[in-house]
Structure formats: C-alpha cells, structure tokens
Chain A
Amino acid sequence: MMETPAQLDIEAVRRDFPILSRQVHGRPLSYLDNGATAFVPEAVLAAVGEQYRAYQANVHRGVHYLSEQSTARVERVRQQVADFLNAEAPEEIIFTSGATESINLVARAFADGILKPRDRLLVTEMEHHSNLVPWQEACRRAGAALDVVPVTDAGELDIEELLRLLDAGPRLLAVTWVSNVLGTVNPLPQIVRMAHAVGCPVLIDAAQAMRHGPVDVRSLDCDFLCFSGHKMMAPTGVGVLYGKRRRLERLPPAAFGGGMIDEVDTQRATWAEPPFKFEAGTPNITGIVGLGAALEYLQSLGLPAVYAREAELIAYAEAQLQERGDLDILGAPARRAGAVSFNLRGLSPYDVAKLLDQLGVAVRSGHHCAQPLLARFGLTGAVRVTPAFYNTREEIDALMDGLDRIAALSQRSL
C-alpha cells in the first residue's frame, strides 16, 4: 500500500520564500507562473552568498585552497544530482546553463558526428521550441529528415503514430516528459521501451517534470535527460544534461576551450573524459552550488510531500477552471502535472494576463514557446497557470475572482 506523504507546513514553507509576500501594483501577489521560473528559497540564496563570500575561486585549475574548495563543492553537487536522478555515476552528469543548452549540446553533437544524410530523427508536436528547433537545425545541417509525432484532441501523444514513426528507424527520439502548455504527462517508461525495441535512443526534456514526481533515469532507462535549475528553486543559468556513460563516451564535444581537453598542441587537441569533455570554459560555479542547495531544500521538505502538494494544487486549479462556462481549457489529458492553459472567450490571452497582472495575479500568456502545439489546437496563444507547492488555494481563488471581474468587463463593453 502506498503511504500517504506527510503534508507540507505551508505557512513555514512560505516563510522560506519572502518574495511570496511582496505586493505588485499595490495588491498581494499570486504568483502562478512557476512553469517559467520558480522562486528561490532563503537556503539557496544563503548558499549562493556563501560561495561568493567565502570561496569564489575557479574549479579544476588552481591547487590553492579556495580553488580546491570550489572544485569539491561543484563535484559534490554533481554527485548530489547523480543521486537525485539515480544515475549510475557522477560522470553521467554534465552541468549546462539550462535545459535549452543541454539539448543544443546533444543536437550539435548529433549534427557533427552522428547524423548522416537521409537519417531520420523523431520529435513530437508538443515540444517546447527548445526541444524542436535544435533538432530542426541538426537535421538541416546533416541533411536528415525530422519526423513529428502528432498530438490528439485530448492533448496526448498519438502512440500508434509514434510506433509507426519509430519503425522508420530514427537515430533519436527527443520527447518532453510533461508538456509545458497542456501539462500532459507522457507515458515515458512505455515510450522509452517502445523506442529501445527498435534500437532508437531517447532524450527526455524533463524541464517541466522535476517538481511533480520522482525522476529516476535508471528505471526510465533513458539515454539522455535534461532539466533547468530555475524551475526547481535554483538560480537561473544552471541546468543539467544526464547521459548514459556509453552514450557520452561516443558523443563528440559541442563546445571547445579550457577545461574540456586532455592535451593540446598548436594544431590539434584531444578531449578529456566525460563529463569534462562537455564543460568548456568556467562553469556557472555559483549556480551549481545553488542547484545543490535547491535539491537539498526540496529533499528537506520531503519530496513525496512536494509532489503531492503540486498535484493537489493543479487539480484544484483545473477543477475551478472547469466549473466556469466562459473559457476553453486546452486538452484533457488523462494525466496532468504542473500546468493548465485556457482561453477566456472574447478576449485575447494577452488582455487576460495583463488585466490579471493588474490584480496581482501573475500568469503567462502567449504561445509559450510551443507554436506548433498551439497551431495544432487552432490557436496562437493561451493563458497558462502553473502553481508550485508554496502556492495556496487562496491564490488560485484570487485568479478565479480576477477572471470573474474580467469576464464581467468583456460583457460590459464587447
């Protein structure tokens, strides 16, 4: 039997994020844009401050005390991330600036050393542009073809089509775990099994998945997985690429410079072993330390409690939106996490988000960097609500009150 996770002490959690109590436009803030960037707790700010105040020195360079301390702190986070993802070894963890750079790193390597003309590569219609455009470019440069798994009316991947496209023998499947627009949770262990059955490696964009459930790369058996720190309480500008060791060993580096070489003469160089082969230049040391502190913070709250709270809030938001007769929710996936998007009839998403902002409610509007997905639903934009565990039902109620006022407005004037 599954144990019911301990509940978060929300009042205490909210005290960890003083930004939650600030006002905007003279009103209390209801921040429901965590799918774009989540807030950073005091513990992470303290770790970042401490790194600057007490360490700061560069990593893997100096033999002096501070450099060795910085190096140890960064490598400790690498081990922490490996443990968090249940990777086999810290060498499978590459630090990047975020999920976008992680994907670009793999895509450039594929374009340079793996994809051949007439090869095929597979993505899906629900990808964020960050997991679409790098593959378009890789295919264009290599003369390969890009296939796209369609999305159903419910906002789920068309699994039959996926199977059919896998039969064409793509060199890689790049797929999101959780849609940043629809909140759809894709059936990943199943998709990875289907891809591996035809010898196709899988890259998972887990940017939207990290706060919603355990991410276990070994049980997923994925070949690559990436995420951004700033959606899980870390500073901006830091992210991770996980790669199976044997994949990383065969992958050519995509950026060149200091820190990633073995030996260099004036004409050529040889590469260091992974992960350093993929980390040219000075990494975002402070960001990495902040990421470590963020993981520690989430673990200190109890991950099952965080996951449960996130699930409860998105279900509440979805139920409240569904009760309204004046808006259309995008998709109706069987499993949803983190995000629900809608359009209020008669007003553009921009108008709705702008008016909500004036009421202190922060939501995102626009195409959410997923134009093909919006086009699939005949839209150019939507309003997106993405709560995080520190939000309250009252903040979602503030959104609903705001929508009431806006809906009344559109009836008054249009």
Chain B
Amino acid sequence: MSAIDAAQEALIREFQELGDGFEQYAYLIELAALLPAMAPEEKTDERLVKGCQSHVWLAMRGENGRFYASADSDTFIVKGVLYLLKKLFDGQPLAEVAAAKVRFLEETEISATFGPDRQKGLGYVIAEMQRFAGEQAGAQ
C-alpha cells in the first residue's frame, strides 16, 4: 500500500468516526484554519479555478521528483478539503500522486461538495493536481 493509500485509509476512518455529515463538515471548517493562506499576490487569475459558489486558487510544483501544492479558497469547507488533499499529496512521489485513486470524498459525507459541474468543482482540482504530477513525473 502506498503512503497516499495508507493516509487515505486513516482519513476515511477518522471522518467516519466523526459521525454525521454536519460533524464532518464542521471538522473540515476546523481543518481550513490549518491551511496556510496564499498571499494575495499569489492569487492570480491563472491560478483561479472558478466555480459558481466558491473559488479555488491552485499553485503546484515538482521538486526532486516529489509533488507540492499550495491552494486557497473563499469558502472554509473547500479550504478544508484542500488541506486534506495537500496532506495526502505534499511530498509524495509525483508518479504516485498521478496514479492515486482519490476516494476519501466519496467514502465520507464530503462527496456532496462536488457540484454537478465537476469541471468547476473539486473534481477538477484533483484532476489538475494529478495531470500536473503526471506531466512532471514524465519530464523528470
């Protein structure tokens, strides 16, 4: 089992122990406070993933074969999810990030955060992270 899979397993258990959806979202809001904020000048239009209800800014880099991201949002629930994604992926090998099966959203109550328009939602953010990791892994 990869480090990402193991971390994901732990995460799913942690969320399931929290109980209902309200408590899981409440926890996400607590986690949001732990996500380092991006500086205003980093929140450029190129990094903006626009949604109807919430915006996400996403910056990524590959360093020594490993993946690093910084991200921010104007809503706390989404920030909480971004914190979890960062926790899963940051410092992990690029190839493993690209190949990971992200399932913690579906296996907790968080999946509803995905809007029907996945291109503009967190599904798009995850796809972007994995696309970037795949490209970098191929290049390095």
Residues on A lying within 8 angstroms of B by beta carbon are: 25-26, 347-351, 354-355, 357-359, 365-366, 380-381, 405, 409-410, 412-414
Contacts and interface: CB of A to CB of B under 8 A. Distances in A.
B30 A412 contact: yes
A409 B21 contact: no
Interface of B: 20-22, 25-26, 29-30, 32-33, 52-54, 74-78, 109, 112-113
Contacts of B75: 348, 350-351
A354 B54 CA distance: 12
Nearest to A26: B20
Contacts of B113: 354
Contacts of B20: 25-26, 358
B21 A365 contact: no
B77 A351 contact: yes
Q: DSSP majority for the B interface?
A: helix
A25 B21 contact: yes
A351 B26 CA distance: 9
A409 B33 CA distance: 12
Contacts of A414: 29, 33, 76
B84 to A, nearest CB: 15
Contact of A351 (B21, B29, B30, B112): B29
Contacts of A351: 25, 29, 75-77
Contacts of B21: 25, 358
B77 A354 contact: yes
Contacts of A405: 22
Contacts of A354: 25, 77, 112-113
A227 to B, nearest CB: 24
Contacts of A365: 53
25 contacts: A25-B20, A25-B109, A26-B20, A347-B29, A347-B76, A348-B74, A351-B76, A354-B77, A354-B112, A355-B22, A355-B26, A355-B29, A355-B77, A358-B21, A358-B25, A358-B109, A365-B53, A366-B52, A366-B53, A409-B29, A410-B29, A413-B26, A413-B30, A413-B32, A414-B33
Interface centre among B22, B32, B52, B112 (most CB of A within 10 A): B22
Given A348-B74, A348-B75, A348-B76, A355 B25 contact: yes
A321 B2 CA distance: 50
Contacts of B30: 412-413
A50 B85 CA distance: 51
Contact of B54 (A26, A350, A412): A350
B77 to A, nearest CB: 5
Nearest to A354: B77
A357 B113 CA distance: 11
Contacts of A347: 29, 76
Contacts of A410: 29
Contacts of B33: 413-414
Given A25-B109, A348-B76, A355-B77, 17 more contacts: A25-B22, A26-B20, A347-B76, A348-B75, A350-B54, A351-B76, A351-B77, A355-B22, A355-B25, A358-B22, A358-B109, A365-B53, A366-B52, A380-B74, A410-B29, A413-B32, A414-B29
A405 B25 CA distance: 12
A209 B77 CA distance: 34
B75 to A, nearest CB: 4
A348 B54 contact: yes
B122 to A, nearest CB: 12
B68 to A, nearest CB: 26
B10 to A, nearest CB: 21
A380 B55 CA distance: 11
Contacts of A380: 74
A365 B54 CA distance: 10
Contacts of A413: 26, 29-30, 32-33
Contact of B26 (A349, A357, A409): A409
A410 B21 CA distance: 16
Nearest to A348: B75
A350 B25 contact: no
Contacts of B53: 349-350, 365-366, 381
Which residue, A26, A355, A365, A405, has most C-beta atoms of chain B within 10 A? A355
A414 B75 CA distance: 13
Q: What are the nearest 7 A-B pairs in CB distance? A: A358-B22, A358-B21, A413-B30, A348-B75, A350-B75, A350-B53, A351-B76
A348 B80 CA distance: 13
A350 B77 contact: yes
A405 B53 CA distance: 22
A399 B52 CA distance: 23
A381 B53 CA distance: 8
A263 B29 CA distance: 65
A355 B29 CA distance: 10
